[in-house]
Structure 1
Amino acid sequence: MDSKLLFSLIIGILIVQYLLDTFLDYLNAKKYQEALPKELNDVFDEAEYTKAQDYKKTNYHFGIANDAFSILLTLSFLIFGGFEWIDGIVRNFTSNPILMALGFFGIIVLGSSIISIPFSYYQTFVIEEKFGFNKTTKKLFFVDLIKGLLMTAVLGGGILALVILFLEWTGGNFWLYAWGLFAILVIFMNLFYSKLIVPLFNKQTPLEIGSLKSAIESYAKKVGFELDNIFVIDGSKRSTKANAYFSGFGKQKRVTLFDTLINDLSEEEIVAVLAHEVGHYKRKHIIFNLFATISLTGLTLFVLSLFINNPELSRAIGVSQPSFHAAMIGFVLLYSPISTITGLAMNFLSRKFEFQADNYAKETFAAPPLITSLKKLSKNSLSNLTPHPAYVFMHYSHPPLIERIRNLKA
């Protein structure tokens, strides 16, 4: 397949994906006006429901503008030789393939981050501020941005350099070594993300001794779940939205509760949320997701190894001198339909896992406090209570609230 055909294929993939996403967003937006199911009548009163609808509509219109800008920028970059221009810049400074790749992707990431600042800023300080969610200061906003860029440079740059070294040392077998590297990284991050990465952005403190901790420990003991690490994270310094998550496994497992969750829910509801998280662990969902991620990464790297040395991939994005970094861009764009399919499969399984975790909480604790906690969390985040089924199928990793409630009441 020559570069012109590959170029046309890339343009076609980008346009089709954009049109599909836009159509799904439109279908979802049409559902905003629907009456709430009777099971959800107590989530919002009339004023709150109007506010929730306004929030969804505002985000919908903002998303249209953001997505349109993104697709136009990407198509312009491809059509008018943007990647060739960046490639020419880095070749003026070095001929080393690793340094060229680092410079090439560094310029793209930095440029993309700068371009996205106005959109992120508007989302945070206009939309989220208007609806009472934002707690981020302007200083924290930019500090987070800089920290994120530095992390991307260190971790992303290091991984990229090693992958190119593997390619130079082993040729076509580089994907096996790269797969091993990613597997180690995924396991390491799963074990130590909360210890090493989260503290760069948030303060974590052990849950204080008291009735809540006693209730959590009592439940954990009841279901035979060893839990020594219960932490509270200061999520309220960025948003009023609440969350809780489980990370690690073995002796490294820990539960992290957002301080907003503790403020919004009763102790019984917090234990119910925790029971749901324990359900994920007990049903082996964390292990499954870990190995699924590693397996899909291996598949992607294997396919990459079949095409990375094809010079037509580089030329397909307008870069005249074939290289690893240019071929990577072409591969990512061409591989996106496969990524969409694997993403659909993972979302489908994730929704099933959520039902299973809910069932575990219902069986080992109680359904009513989990139902009320889900309602409160949906209310406090002004979430969409009537999403379109097609949008759920394509994008949701969790079942809609009404489906979870019906399952818990079954």
Structure 2
Amino acid sequence: MNSETIYIIILLFLCADFIFERFLEGLNIRAMSPVLPEKLKGIYDEKEYKRFQSYKKENNRFGLISSAFSFTVTVLFLAAGGFGLYNDWIVSRTDSILWQTLFFMLGLSVISTLLEMPFSWYATFRIEEKYGFNKSTLNTWITDAVKGVFLSLIIGGLILSAVVGFYLWTGSRFWIYAWVLISLFSIFMAMFYSRLIVPLFNKQSPLQAGSLRDKIEAFASRTGFRLKNIYVIDGSKRSTKANAYFTGFGAEKRIVLYDTLLQDLTEEEIVAVLAHEIGHYRKKHTLKFMSASILQTGFMLWLFSLLVNIQAFSEALGSDRAYFQLGLVTFAILYSPVSMLLGICMNIWSRKNEYEADAFATRHNEGEALVSGLKKISVKSLSNLTPHPWYEFVYYSHPSLLKRIKAIEQTDR
């Protein structure tokens, strides 16, 4: 396959991805029912439901503008030979493959971040604030952005350096060493993310002794779940949306509650939501999901090792010979359909896991409180209650609210 064919395929993939996403977004917006399903009546009042629809439509319009901008910039940069010209400029300044790759990817990351920031600002301080979600100040937003960029550059730079180092050391077998490194890093982050990364952005405090903690510990004990670490995170610092999550393994496992969740839900509803999270742990969903992700990473790296040295991959981006960094960019684009298919499969599996976690909570007499809590969380975040089936199939990692309620009601106690 020559470089011209690969170039055309790259353009086709970029266009197909953009059109497909916009098509599904359009279907999803048109699927919004002006009348609430019978089982969901009473969740919203008429005024609140109109506010929900307005929020979703405004987000859709803004998403179309931002994605169209990103798509246009990418295609124009590609058509103008920007990747090749930028690579030539980097190569003219260093003969080191390691530094060539690092500077090349660093430049693309910085430019991409700078182009995205105005859209992020508008989404936060115009749309989210308009509908009462945003609690972040401009200073917090800027600080978060700077921390996020530096963290991404440091971690990404170290991992990329190691991958290139393995490539220079072992040749085509580099993917094995890279796979081991990335897998170990993923496991490490799964265990210590809440301890090491979250404190850079949020404050976590142990849940104080009292009625709620007693109820959570009683449920954990009743279900054979060893639990010592229950934390509250200051989510209200940035948003009014509520959430809770389970993280870590072994002695590092902890449950994290957003302070907004404590404000919006009753103690019984909070226990039910946590029962769902404990269900994930008891069913080993997190461990299985991580194992599948590691296998996917290994497959991707293996495939990349077969293609990275193909000269046509670099020529398609405007170069005259094979470069690791250009092969990386070309592969990332060509791999996107595979990534989407794998993502759809993972979402199907994830939705199955959500049903199982709901069933776990229901079988431990938390079904009614869980339904009540899920309704409140959905209203608070203005979640789409009637998504289009295709959109839900492709993008949803959790079943829509109506489907979850129906499954909970049908679960054998």
Establish whether TM, by shorter chain, passes 0.5.
Answer: yes
Q: Distance in 2 between matches of 1:225 and 1:57?
A: 42
SS in 2 for 1:365: helix
Given residue 365 of structure 2, which amino acid in structure 1 is its aligned partner? F
Q: Distance in 2 between matches of 1:6 and 1:34?
A: 46
> Is the Cα–Cα contact under 8 Å of residues 34 and 386 in structure 1 kept in the other structure?
no
SS in 2 for 1:67: helix
SS in 1 for 2:242: coil
Offset of residue 95 of structure 1: 1.6
Offset of residue 366 of structure 1: 1.7
SS in 1 for 2:231: strand
In the alignment, what sits opposite 1:259?
259
Which 5+ residue runs of structure 1 have no aligned equivalent? none
Given residue 170 of structure 1, which amino acid in structure 2 is its aligned partner? T
> Which deviates more, 353-362 or 15-24?
15-24
In the alignment, what sits opposite 1:382?
382
In the alignment, what sits opposite 1:357?
357
User: Are residue 3 (structure 1) and residue 6 (structure 2) matched?
Assistant: no
Offset of residue 77 of structure 1: 1.1
User: Are residue 41 (structure 1) and residue 45 (structure 2) matched?
Assistant: no
Given residue 239 of structure 2, which amino acid in structure 1 is its aligned partner? S
Q: Distance in 2 between matches of 1:105 and 1:268?
A: 49
In the alignment, what sits opposite 1:162?
162
> Is the Cα–Cα contact under 8 Å of residues 344 and 393 in structure 2 kept in the other structure?
yes
Offset of residue 153 of structure 1: 1.2
TM-score, with length taken from structure 2: 0.98
Offset of residue 87 of structure 1: 1.1
User: Are residue 103 (structure 1) and residue 100 (structure 2) matched?
Assistant: no
In the alignment, what sits opposite 1:112?
112
Q: Distance in 2 between matches of 1:91 and 1:167?
A: 18
Offset of residue 34 of structure 1: 3.7
User: Are residue 186 (structure 1) and residue 177 (structure 2) matched?
Assistant: no
In the alignment, what sits opposite 1:323?
323
TM-score, with length taken from structure 1: 0.99
Given residue 252 of structure 2, which amino acid in structure 1 is its aligned partner? Q
Q: Deviations over 1:273-301 (max 9, x none)?
A: 00000000001101101101100000000
Q: Distance in 1 between matches of 2:50 and 2:408?
A: 27
Q: Distance in 1 between matches of 2:404 and 2:75?
A: 40
Q: Deviations over 1:139-192 (max 9, x none)?
A: 111111111111111100000010011011111111000000011001000000
Offset of residue 85 of structure 1: 2.5
Q: Distance in 1 between matches of 2:35 and 2:395?
A: 22
> Is the Cα–Cα contact under 8 Å of residues 33 and 53 in structure 1 kept in the other structure?
no
User: Are residue 29 (structure 1) and residue 29 (structure 2) matched?
Assistant: yes
Q: Deviations over 1:204-237 (max 9, x none)?
A: 0100111100000000000010000000000100
Offset of residue 322 of structure 1: 2.2
SS in 2 for 1:256: strand
Given residue 106 of structure 1, which amino acid in structure 2 is its aligned partner? L
In the alignment, what sits opposite 1:334?
334
Q: Deviations over 1:79-129 (max 9, x none)?
A: 011112321332233221111111101111000110111100000000000
Cα gap change, 1:94 to 1:378, in 2 (>3 Å): same
> Is the Cα–Cα contact under 8 Å of residues 275 and 365 in structure 1 kept in the other structure?
no
SS in 1 for 2:121: helix
User: Are residue 174 (structure 1) and residue 177 (structure 2) matched?
Assistant: no
> Is the Cα–Cα contact under 8 Å of residues 3 and 316 in structure 1 kept in the other structure?
yes
User: Are residue 392 (structure 1) and residue 401 (structure 2) matched?
Assistant: no
Given residue 271 of structure 2, which amino acid in structure 1 is its aligned partner? V
In the alignment, what sits opposite 1:83?
83
User: Are residue 370 (structure 1) and residue 370 (structure 2) matched?
Assistant: yes
In the alignment, what sits opposite 2:238?
238
SS in 2 for 1:330: helix
In the alignment, what sits opposite 2:65?
65
> Is the Cα–Cα contact under 8 Å of residues 244 and 255 in structure 1 kept in the other structure?
yes
Q: Deviations over 1:243-278 (max 9, x none)?
A: 100011111110000000011100000000000000
In the alignment, what sits opposite 2:282?
282
SS in 2 for 1:366: helix
In the alignment, what sits opposite 2:304?
304
Q: Distance in 1 between matches of 2:314 and 2:40?
A: 52
Q: Distance in 1 between matches of 2:3 and 2:365?
A: 59
> Is the Cα–Cα contact under 8 Å of residues 269 and 369 in structure 2 kept in the other structure?
yes
Q: Distance in 1 between matches of 2:302 and 2:30?
A: 41
Q: Distance in 2 between matches of 1:15 and 1:113?
A: 22
In the alignment, what sits opposite 2:145?
145
Offset of residue 18 of structure 1: 0.9
Superposed CA RMSD in Å reads 0.8
> Is the Cα–Cα contact under 8 Å of residues 85 and 318 in structure 2 kept in the other structure?
no
Offset of residue 317 of structure 1: 1.8
* Identity between Structure 1 and Structure 2 (%): 46
- In the comparison of the two structures, how many residue pairs are matched? 410
User: Are residue 128 (structure 1) and residue 128 (structure 2) matched?
Assistant: yes
> Is the Cα–Cα contact under 8 Å of residues 86 and 107 in structure 1 kept in the other structure?
no
Q: Distance in 2 between matches of 1:8 and 1:407?
A: 46
In the alignment, what sits opposite 2:402?
402
Q: Deviations over 1:355-397 (max 9, x none)?
A: 0000000001321100010000000011110100000001000
Q: Distance in 2 between matches of 1:124 and 1:55?
A: 13
In the alignment, what sits opposite 1:273?
273
> Which deviates more, 116-125 or 28-37?
28-37
> Is the Cα–Cα contact under 8 Å of residues 275 and 366 in structure 2 kept in the other structure?
no
> Which deviates more, 360-369 or 44-53?
360-369
Which 5+ residue runs of structure 2 have no aligned equivalent? none
Given residue 409 of structure 2, which amino acid in structure 1 is its aligned partner? K
> Is the Cα–Cα contact under 8 Å of residues 190 and 248 in structure 2 kept in the other structure?
yes
Q: Distance in 2 between matches of 1:220 and 1:342?
A: 34
